[in-house]
Amino acid sequence: MKKDKNSASRRAFLKGAAVGAGAGAVAAFVPTASAQSGDTAQGASELRPADTQHGAFFNLEQAAAVAAFAERLMPGAPDKPGATDADVLNYIDLALAGAYADQQHFYRRGLVALDAYCRSSHDAPFASLDSSQQDAVITALEAGTAEGFEWPTAQAFFQTVRTHTMEGMFADPVYGGNKNFAGWRLVGFPGAQFTYTPAEVRSTEPFSRAPIIGLQSQATRRG
């Protein structure tokens, strides 16, 4: 995808970041992958490739689709972390095994419809499409023109994944996303600080000191 299109996508996404940044703060943290349920309960070795954190709820195919979807909503660029860098997949996976367990069926149905739509329109699952095709699918979801969605509707599925991507980018890292404060650094959010120096208070430059993370976050976050 062209750089200017990535930048435009990023700007559009960040317009809503202030709303979504704190929404994930109320999510219950699920620290292990043992809380699997229903048709997604598989061995951890099957569910978690070495370079991908998931397995609390998603199976491999679901995880690939959600990770690719989130990355197109918030694409990474040099010196600008995206959804993959922030480990948004891990956040959504843990949330669906915990505080958002009531949305498990919503995600299962939505991902089945997404797969069917992509296979009928592009003859491949979402994660296997190139970036322009993925963007076209997401645009159709947002506009409600993607066929095959009943419940959830295409627009409802898009909005939910977008909201959860925002949460995974900007919520406290203790909830499984915002890895290495990627989202906070992106928008210049200082996180928790014990004190601010007089120079920092007067400065109009983006705050550069690293946020402070508690011992609980360091002890419980996977990865």
Between CA 53 and CA 91 the distance in angstroms is 9
The per-residue DSSP string of 48-82 comes to: --TT----SS--HHHHHHHHHHHHHHS--BTTB--
Angstrom CA distances, 73 to 37, 39, 69, 163, 165, stand at 27, 27, 6, 10, 8
Q: Is the pLDDT of residue 63 over 50?
A: yes
Residue 28 is predicted with a pLDDT of 35
Its pTM stands at 0.71
Residue 20 is predicted with a pLDDT of 42
Q: What angle do CA 104, 75, 130 make, to 5 degrees?
A: 85
Residue 135 has phi, psi (to 5 degrees) of: -65, -35
Identify the three-state secondary structure at position 123. Answer: coil
Between CA 217 and CA 195 the distance in angstroms is 20
What is the mean predicted confidence (pLDDT) over 180-191? 84
What is the per-residue burial (b if ≥16 Cβ within 10 Å, else e) of 78-100? eeebbbbbbbbbbbbbbbbbbbb
pLDDT tens by residue, 69-123: 999 999 999 989 999 999 999 999 999 999 999 999 999 999 999 999 999 999 9
User: For the purposes of burial, counting CB atoms within 10 Å of the CB of 156, is it exposed (0-12), middle (13-18) or buried (19 or more)?
Assistant: middle
What is the mean predicted confidence (pLDDT) over 1-14? 50
Which 8-state DSSP code applies to residue 85? T
Q: Is the pLDDT of residue 8 over 70?
A: no
Q: How many CB atoms lie within 10 A of CB 76?
A: 16
